[in-house]
Amino acid sequence: MTVTVFIGSLLAAMAIGMPIAFALMVCGLALMLYLGNFDSQILSQNLINGADNFPLMAVPFFLLAGELMNAGGLSRRIVDAAMAWVGHLRGGLGYVAVVASVMMASLSGSAVADTAAIAALLIPMMRRAGYNLPRSAGLISAGGIIAPIIPPSIGFVLFGVAAGVSITQLFMAGIFPGILLGLALAVTWWWVARRDEVLAPPRVPMGERWRITARAFWAFVLPVVIIGGLKIGVFTPTEAAVVAVVYALIVGLFIYRELAFGQLYGLVLAAAKTTAVVMFMVAAAVVSAWLIAYANIPAQVTAMMQPFIGSPKMMMFMLMMLVVIVGTALDFAPTILILTPVLMPLVKQTGIDPVYFGVLFVINNAIGLITPPVGTVLNVAAGVARLPLGDVVRGVWPFLVAQLLVLLALILVPELVTVPAQWLNH
């Protein structure tokens, strides 16, 4: 019955239009009243403790770094470099979108920011060249969700804090699966666009390619600095976020000189607004997490999943199916914050590696960003491309299926995650 009270109160609060953070507090309050243990002090104490967590400092800094990179010209130079190398191929702008998505994912952990930046740069070019716009917007949407998977990843920060798992190990484990998702998108784009007759840009001479790539040098250095620093232990993920901000600030102001001091206030304010939303959700989720543990909901979920305890792969498949369903209705961060405390005891009891589970869990939640009816990233792409949401939904289906197939492959062959992660973490 406690599971019914928890889910019912959460869905009811969301159904009347209540913001997710408040809905989480409402379902926590409903559980308290049902258990006869209402105490306002417990609510306020857990709310404060939820935001008072040092690793969460990475969130505002990574968000600010993303704003600085887009405004400072780093993102545009990555797209220019990708255009120089693959833009002349049949359907070349689609490959540019995929390459740029993978590269920008290593600069910013925000799917929304990456999708908006790439769509703003490429959609007008695709429109002029005669590309199928709904399909193009769908590809860019699917590419944008690689951002929470390749480090730096805000999703891994949230999961690591909620699950008590090493954020550095999660970062390292996300690199290869993120690249796999990019390859899957490239293959799918080749398949769906192979017969399109579109105007391809002329081949860029080799010397010019290298000159354009050299202009993007400082943008390419940042992921090397972050991943290298994490691997050799120079800084923690939180410190890496600060390094990313300082680096993007210096490059934007003094090297590329596309960032002006007058823009900084607006960029900091935009990052602060997004941070406030995320941090309030985290704080509210801690209230729910405490009550989930108090009500022994994980044990009830474990009892329901008991037939699969002996088979880690079958358990992973069932858990991922659950997350796919939830992801159609809930956004990225709330799904992580709500389900992590419920599922982690089950993961540990089954003997599943928490880092491996965390990678697949975050990938699945990222895919939820392009699944209707919510599909936050789909809405962003539709807005930038000035297309009806329904058109973008139709355009994204081939790429959504491809990414779900990659997720299935990761379930069936865990070594695709664990082996590269072991190498990168040593």
Residues 46-92: tens digit of each pLDDT:
788 877 777 788 889 988 988 898 899 998 899 999 999 998 888 89
Please give the pLDDT value at position 326: 84
Long-range Cβ contact pairs of 381-384 (< 8 A, separation 24 or more): 381/115, 381/119, 381/137, 381/138, 381/140, 381/141, 381/144, 382/137, 384/115, 384/116, 384/119, 384/120, 384/123, 384/137
Please give the pLDDT value at position 426: 66
On the question of pLDDT at 329 being above 80, the answer is no
Read off the pLDDT band of 171 (50, 70, 90): very high
Rounded CA gap, 195 and 90, in Å? 9
Element (H, E) at 109: none
Work out the mean pLDDT of the chain and round it to a whole number: 89
Please give the pLDDT value at position 396: 96
Given a contact cutoff of 8 angstroms between Cβ atoms, the answer to whether 288 and 28 are in contact is yes
On the question of pLDDT at 294 being above 80, the answer is no
Rounded CA gap, 96 and 144, in Å? 13
Rounded CA gap, 40 and 94, in Å? 53
Which pTM was predicted? 0.89
Residue reference for tokens 């009550």: 291
Given a contact cutoff of 8 angstroms between Cβ atoms, the answer to whether 349 and 342 are in contact is no
Read off the pLDDT band of 119 (50, 70, 90): very high
Please give the pLDDT value at position 269: 95
Write out the DSSP string of 63-100: HHHHHHHHHTTHHHHHHHHHHHHHTTSTTHHHHHHHHH
Residues 369-407: tens digit of each pLDDT:
998 866 889 989 999 999 998 999 999 999 999 999 999
